[in-house]
Every structure is written in C-alpha cells, then in structure tokens.
Amino acid sequence: MRVASSIQVAPEKLDFVALEARLLDNNPQLAAEHARVASADKSRELVYKNRYPDFSVGISPIQTRNRVSEWELMFEINIPLQQDSRRAQERESELMLDAARLRREATLNQSLADLSESLAGMEAARRVENLAGATLLPQAQLTLQAALAGYETGKVDFATVLEAQRQIRKARLDIVKARGDQQMRRAEIERLIGEEL
C-alpha cells in the first residue's frame, strides 16, 4: 500500500511575522472588537457633549383660516444642572471604553497565541510525518523482509511476520495522522488570518 503525498505549505508562507500582519488586517474577531472600541469612543464623545448647554431655535407659521396670519418663534435652552448624574455618565463611558479596549487586546493576544500554537503544531506534525516516512516506514519494511526470510528458513515464527506487518501499518497510519493534523492546523491558521494561505 502506497501512502499519498501530503500537500505542503511553502515555509515562507508560514512566517509568524507575515501571518501576524495578515491576522491584524483580516481577522473578523479583531475587526468586531475594533468596531466596539470605536462605538464606545463615540458614546464617550456624546456623553462629554452633555457638559455644554443645548440651544434650539424654531419658527412656525400660525394659520388662521386659509392664510398665515402670524409667525411663532421658539427659543429653547437646556442647561445641564445635574452634575452628579452627568459625571457618573462620563465615568461610565470612560470605563466602557477601557473595557472595550481591554477586550480588543485580549482578543488580539488570544489570536496571536492560537496562531503560534497552530504553527508549532503544524511543524511538529510535519516532523512526525518526515520521521515516519523517512525512518520508521523503511525500517519496518526491512524488518518485514527479514522476518519473511527468517520464516521461510524456519528461524522465526509467523507471529514475528505479523508483528513486522503491523509495524508497517502503524508507520503508514502515523503518516496519515500527521498529514491530517497538518491540514487541521492549516485550517485553523486560515481561520485566524481570515484568508487562505
């Protein structure tokens, strides 16, 4: 049985610094957190605008029968007198902005940690694949050949041949598992950076 070759990712595409830049540009979770920070910042600006008096001017016609006989002028001023309430709203808006910034920072840190973990896992799986394909599988095949030769001459029993065959299957299974793990890690990296590698 022949083990299919794996789909390799070029090493330059797995550079952490380049992937970090792509993560910062394209990660949807980070984009959502940036939007939350911008929203909290705008809310804070609106709350601080409540410090100043608010003026309104209006003009409206007064109609008598079918004609406009008079005009009405309205002038309204809203003076913020409840200072304690206003200050509490300002503190709340500042704390909401700080919380949004901290959530964004936590999301960034978690995303970078996940990226680093996925890259390390991908490299480990690649090494396992190389070890199993270049070392374990050839050794297991040589062991099987030796066991078959020994069985033909009567020096080893059939259980030894079966064990050698089991070692070949295990090496092939290790290669398949390593390739599957690499693909899962690749998918995780693509999810984090928001695009294909």
pLDDT of residue 115: 95
* pLDDT on residue 7: 59
pLDDT at 34: 96
Find, among 86, 92, 89, 102, the residue nearest to 37 by Cα.
102
Q: Per-residue pLDDT tens for 125-180? A: 999 999 999 999 999 999 999 999 999 999 999 999 999 999 999 999 999 999 99
Residue 40, token pair as written in the block: 């909290």
Residue 103 has pLDDT above 80, yes or no: yes
Residue 124 confidence (pLDDT) above 90: yes
What's the pLDDT score for residue 155?
Answer: 92
83 or 22, greater pLDDT? 22
Q: What angle do CA 94, 80, 46 make, to 5 degrees?
A: 35
The pLDDT value given to residue 197: 81
pLDDT tens track for 19-66: 999 999 999 999 999 999 999 999 999 988 888 888 899 999 888 888
Domains plus CATH for the chain?
11-193 (1.20.1600.10)
Confidence of residue 83 (pLDDT cuts 50, 70, 90): confident
DSSP bridge pairs for 101: none
Tell me the CB-side half-sphere exposure of residue 112, using CA atoms within 13 A: 13
